[in-house]
Chains A and B, each alone.
Chain A
Amino acid sequence: MTKVTVAEEWLNSCAGCEIAILNIGDVLVDLLVNNLDFVHIPVLIDKKYFGQTGEEKELSIPEAVVGIVSGGVRNEEHKEVLLEMRKKCQILIALGTCATNGGIPALQNMFSDEDLKQFYYKDSPTTDPADYPTEHIPPLLDKCSALDEFVKVDLSLPGCPPHPDWIAGAILSLLDGKTDYRMPERSVCDACPTIRESKKGIEDIKRLYDGAEYDPEKPLNEMRCLLEQGLLCLGPVTHVGCGGTKGAPNCISARVPCRGCYGPIRKSAKPLVDYMGALASIGFDPNKMLDRRGYLCRFSGAHGVLKKLG
C-alpha cells in the first residue's frame, strides 16, 4: 500500500492539537510505519521553509495529499504559511477550535493590539519600558481569524483540543478514499448523562468556585444537570465531541461545567442569543449574567464575533 503524504502546520496555536494527534496512542506507530508519510510537520520533522541551509528567498512547503493546520491566523507569517498549505495540499483539514473559530486567542479581538503592547512592553510590573519590537518578526494582522476567512477548508475538526477519536476517524476515512468525514452536529447536552428535571427556580447563577453538588461515589447519570444546579454550563450551545465518539463530556466527567471549547454547534448558530433561551428555561434572568461575551464567545471570537466595543 502506498503511503499518503501529509503536511502539518501550526499557526496561532499552543501545540495542544499536535499532542492530541499523538494521543491517538498505540496505533500511531503502525500508521506512521504503514500509512502516513509526513513530509512537513515542524513539531516533529526538520523540514525548513527556506531550504535546509536557509538561503532561499521564498517560503516553501512540500506538496501533500492531506494538509492539517491548527491555530488561527494572527500575523503575516501565519497567513503566508496558510496560503502555501492551501496551494500545496489537496485536502485541507482545520484542526481544533482556533483553526475553525479563532479559539481562546481570538478573545484578543475584544481589545486593541495597542493596549496589549502598551501593557506587555511598557506597563507590566516586571518590564523595563521599551519601544515595541518590529525587526525580523512578522507584523500582527488587525485581528485573530479562523482559517476559512482566508482559504477554503475541506474538513473541520473543532475541539480544544479535538478528541483523538475524531482525528483518527478523519485520517482512517481519508485513507479509505472518503473525503466527506463529518462530526455530528449536536450539542454537548446530547452526550451528557446527567439528570435533567426541567424545573425553573434558579434565582442566582453560581460562580465556578461554588462547585457542583454530587455524590462522588455515584456515576454521572446520578448527578443533577449542572445548569439546573445554577452553574453556567455552556453545553446547550456547544458542539458535541469532547468525550470522543462514545464518552461523556470531559468537563462533566470532572464535575465542572462546560465552557464551550468545541465552539458553536453549527456555523449559523448564535450562542449569544441561543444561550439566553437556555438561561430563561431555568428561570434565570439572562440580563444578570456576568461577562457574557467572555463566556459565550470564549472560543469563537473569529468571524467578526468578538470586536472591541466603544
Chain B
Amino acid sequence: MGKTLNIAPVTRIEGHASVSIHLDDSGNVSDARMHILSLRGFEQFVLGRPVEEVPRIVTRICGICPWHHHLAANKAADGCLGVELPPTGRKLRELCQMMAYIPDKILHFYFLAAPDFVLGPDADYSVRNVVGIVGANPELAKKVVHMRYKGQMMLEKFAGKVIHPIAGVVGGFSKPLLEEERKEILAGIQELKDFSVFTIKFAREEVFPKYLDAVKILGVFPSGYLGTVRPSDGALELYDGELRLMDQNGNYDQFKYSEYLDYIGEHTEPWSYGKFPYAKKWGQLKLDENDPVGVYRANCLARINVCDRMRTPLAQEELDIFRKNFGRPSHLTLLYHWARLIELVQACERAEELLNDPEITGREYRAKNIEPRAGDGVGCVEAPRGTLIHHYRTDDNGMVTMANMVVATINNNAAMNLSVKQTAKALIKDGKYDQGILNRVEMAIRAYDP
C-alpha cells in the first residue's frame, strides 16, 4: 500500500491550493496533482447587476492584481454598451495598468520567489522567506520594501484607491491627470525604472547563474503559449492588442479578443475546483507531462515566447540577452522569473512613454451620453499572471445576463499540474523525500506566480 503526501497549503502564492503526491509500494511517484481549493462564483453573482458596476465588483477576484480585472471588466462593459473611448481615457487606463504591474512584479520577485534562490531551496522554512531576506541583506530589503510601497502609493494618490480600484469607468476614466501630478509620477517612474534595471541585472548576474542546472530540469515540459501582441509588429503588449496562441514548435494563430471562443475551451477534472483551459484546435486536453495535448501556458514566459520583439528599448536589450541564451520558444519553467523582470522593465518604460505623451493630460477622459442597451462585450488585458478574459452580455437595461471569465492564473492550471508531476517524479525516488525536495515541487508552481 503506497502513501500520499499532502503539501498544504501551497505557500508564497496568491491563492488557495494544495498538492497531493501519491507514492506507490516502492516509494516512487505514481501521480501528483495540484488542487485548487476555492470556488467563489463571480460568474454567478454579477448576474442582475448593472454592467457598469461590474468593474467595481470583479476586482475582488484578486487583491494582488485588481487593476487588471478592473480594466478588463471595463473593456467588456464598454463593449456591451457600445462605447468608444476618447484617447486620453484609453491612455489613462493603460498608464494605470503599467503602474499596477511594477509593484506586483517587485512583490513576486523579492517577497515570494527570491527566498528560494537567495536563501536556497533547502533552507529551513523559518528563514526561507521575506524575513530571511531582510536578515541576509537588510539594505536591499529596505530598498525593495520602499520601492514597492512607492509604486503603490503613487497609484493610490492619483487614482484614489490602489487595492480594488475605482477610477476606471465605462467610457474611460473618472478623472484627468493634472500637469503637476504628471510631473510627480514621472519622477517616481524614472526612479522605479532605475530600480528595475538594477533588479534584472542583479538577478541575471548574481542570482540566476547559480541555478542554471535547476532551470534545465525543474518543472520542464514542452507546451504552447498564449499572449498579446501589437498587430503592426508583433511587439509584446500588456494592455491591448491581439491574442497570439503559439504551439510548442513556434507556429501560431493570431486573433481578436472577440474570437476567443473559437480557440479556447475549458475542461474539468474531478479533483480541482479550477477548470483547465486548453487550445481547442490542438485536440482534447491530455495532462501527460511527456506528451501533453492542448496544453498552453500564459503569463510572462508565454508572452516573451509569443512576441516578436519588446515594445521598449531597454526591455528589447534584455530580450536579446534572453533569446541568445535560451532561444524561442523556451520551455524552461523557472525562466518565468527571468521573463517577469524583462516585463518589469517594459512596464516602467511604457509608463514613462505614456507620461511623456501630451494627450495624457487631456480633458476628454470619459465618453458622455452613454445609454443602457442589450449587448455583448469581450474585454481582455494581459494581467501579470496571464491573459485575462472577461465576457459579458446585457439586457436592454444594461443589466448583466451572462458572465464568462477565463482568469489569468487559471490559464496555467494544466501547466502547473504538469510541472508538479514532472518535478515530483524526477526528485522523489525509492520513498526518499525531504522538505527541500517538497519545496522544489512548490518552486515549480511558484514560477507561474499563481
Tell whether A pairs with B.
yes
- B271–A137 CB distance below 8 A: yes
- B268–A128 CB distance below 8 A: yes
- B44–A255 CB distance below 8 A: no
Instruction: Assess whether A310 is interfacial by the CB under 8 Å rule.
Output: no
A side interface size, CB within 8 A: 89
- A294–B49 CB distance below 8 A: yes
Residue from A14, A17, A252, A253 with most neighbouring chain B CB atoms (10 Å):
A14
By a CB distance below 8 angstroms, the chain B residues around A13 are 63
Instruction: Assess whether B354 is interfacial by the CB under 8 Å rule.
Output: no
Please report which residues of chain A, range 222-270, place their CB below 8 angstroms from some CB of chain B when the two chains form the complex: 242, 250-256, 259, 261
By a CB distance below 8 angstroms, the chain A residues around B83 are 209
By a CB distance below 8 angstroms, the chain B residues around A198 are none
Q: Which of B139-147, B203-211, B301-309, B338-346 contacts A (4 or more CB under 8 A)?
A: B139-147
- A49–B9 CB distance below 8 A: yes
- A133–B174 CB distance below 8 A: no
Give bound CA distance, A28 to B133, whole Å.
14
Give bound CA distance, A14 to B33, whole Å.
23
Q: On chain B, which size bracket covers the interface? A: 35 or more
Q: Dominant SS at the A interface?
A: loop
- Tell me whether A45 and B129 are in contact in the complex, defined as CB-CB below 8 angstroms, given that A26-B142, A104-B57, A133-B269 are known contacts: yes
- A121–B166 CB distance below 8 A: no
Instruction: Assess whether B160 is interfacial by the CB under 8 Å rule.
Output: yes
Give bound CA distance, A13 to B399, whole Å.
26
Chain A residue at smallest Cβ distance from B173: A254
- Tell me whether A75 and B56 are in contact in the complex, defined as CB-CB below 8 angstroms, given that A209-B370, A255-B175 are known contacts: no
By a CB distance below 8 angstroms, the chain B residues around A54 are 5-8, 21, 438
- A127–B111 CB distance below 8 A: no
Give bound CA distance, A254 to B310, whole Å.
33
Instruction: Assess whether A142 is interfacial by the CB under 8 Å rule.
Output: no
> Within the complex, what minimum Cβ distance (angstroms) separates A102 from chain B?
11
- A116–B41 CB distance below 8 A: yes
By a CB distance below 8 angstroms, the chain A residues around B18 are 136
> Within the complex, what minimum Cβ distance (angstroms) separates A47 from chain B?
6
- A251–B166 CB distance below 8 A: yes
- A12–B37 CB distance below 8 A: no
> Within the complex, what minimum Cβ distance (angstroms) separates A287 from chain B?
16
- B50–A291 CB distance below 8 A: yes
By a CB distance below 8 angstroms, the chain A residues around B391 are 125
Please report which residues of chain A, range 129-143, place their CB below 8 angstroms from some CB of chain B when the two chains form the complex: 130-138, 140
CB < 8 Å neighbour of A46 from B11, B273, B433: B11
- Tell me whether A137 and B40 are in contact in the complex, defined as CB-CB below 8 angstroms, given that A20-B163, A209-B81, A298-B57 are known contacts: no
- B270–A131 CB distance below 8 A: yes
Give bound CA distance, A113 to B156, whole Å.
36
- B161–A242 CB distance below 8 A: yes
By a CB distance below 8 angstroms, the chain A residues around B9 are 42, 48-49
> Within the complex, what minimum Cβ distance (angstroms) separates B398 from chain A?
8
- B174–A255 CB distance below 8 A: yes
Q: Which of A170-178, A183-191, A210-218 contacts B (4 or more CB under 8 A)?
A: A210-218
Q: Which of B182-190, B213-221, B228-236, B258-266 contacts A (4 or more CB under 8 A)?
A: B258-266
- A42–B11 CB distance below 8 A: yes
- Tell me whether A126 and B404 are in contact in the complex, defined as CB-CB below 8 angstroms, given that A19-B64, A50-B6 are known contacts: yes
> Within the complex, what minimum Cβ distance (angstroms) separates A85 from chain B?
13
Instruction: Assess whether B426 is interfacial by the CB under 8 Å rule.
Output: no
- B433–A44 CB distance below 8 A: no
- A251–B63 CB distance below 8 A: no
- Tell me whether A75 and B38 are in contact in the complex, defined as CB-CB below 8 angstroms, given that A26-B145, A133-B270 are known contacts: yes
Instruction: Assess whether B12 is interfacial by the CB under 8 Å rule.
Output: yes
Give bound CA distance, A70 to B366, whole Å.
35
- B169–A209 CB distance below 8 A: yes
Instruction: Assess whether A285 is interfacial by the CB under 8 Å rule.
Output: no
- B8–A294 CB distance below 8 A: no
Chain B residue at smallest Cβ distance from A15: B63
A binding-site residues for B, Cβ under 8 Å: 10, 12-20, 22-23, 25-26, 28-29, 32-33, 38, 42-50, 52-55, 74-75, 77, 103-105, 107-108, 110-111, 113, 115-117, 119-121, 124-128, 130-138, 140, 160-161, 207-212, 216-217, 242, 250-256, 259, 261, 290-291, 294-295, 298
Question: Can you show 29 pairs from A to B with CB atoms below 8 A apart?
Answer: A14-B64, A15-B15, A16-B66, A22-B107, A22-B149, A32-B134, A46-B439, A48-B7, A53-B438, A54-B438, A55-B5, A105-B45, A107-B45, A108-B40, A111-B47, A113-B41, A115-B44, A120-B41, A121-B268, A126-B264, A126-B265, A132-B268, A134-B270, A209-B171, A211-B174, A250-B166, A254-B174, A255-B160, A256-B160
Q: A45-B131, A211-B368 provided; 17 other pairs, C-beta below 8 A? A: A12-B40, A14-B66, A15-B15, A15-B63, A22-B145, A22-B148, A29-B141, A32-B130, A44-B130, A45-B125, A47-B125, A126-B265, A134-B270, A208-B52, A254-B160, A255-B160, A291-B50
B binding-site residues for A, Cβ under 8 Å: 3, 5-9, 11-16, 18, 20-21, 33, 35-41, 43-45, 47-50, 52-53, 56-57, 60-64, 66, 81, 83, 107, 111-112, 125-126, 128-131, 134, 138, 141-142, 145-146, 148-149, 152-153, 156, 159-164, 166-167, 169-171, 174-176, 178, 260-261, 264-273, 275, 277, 363, 366, 368, 370, 372, 391, 397-399, 402, 404, 406, 433-435, 438-439, 442
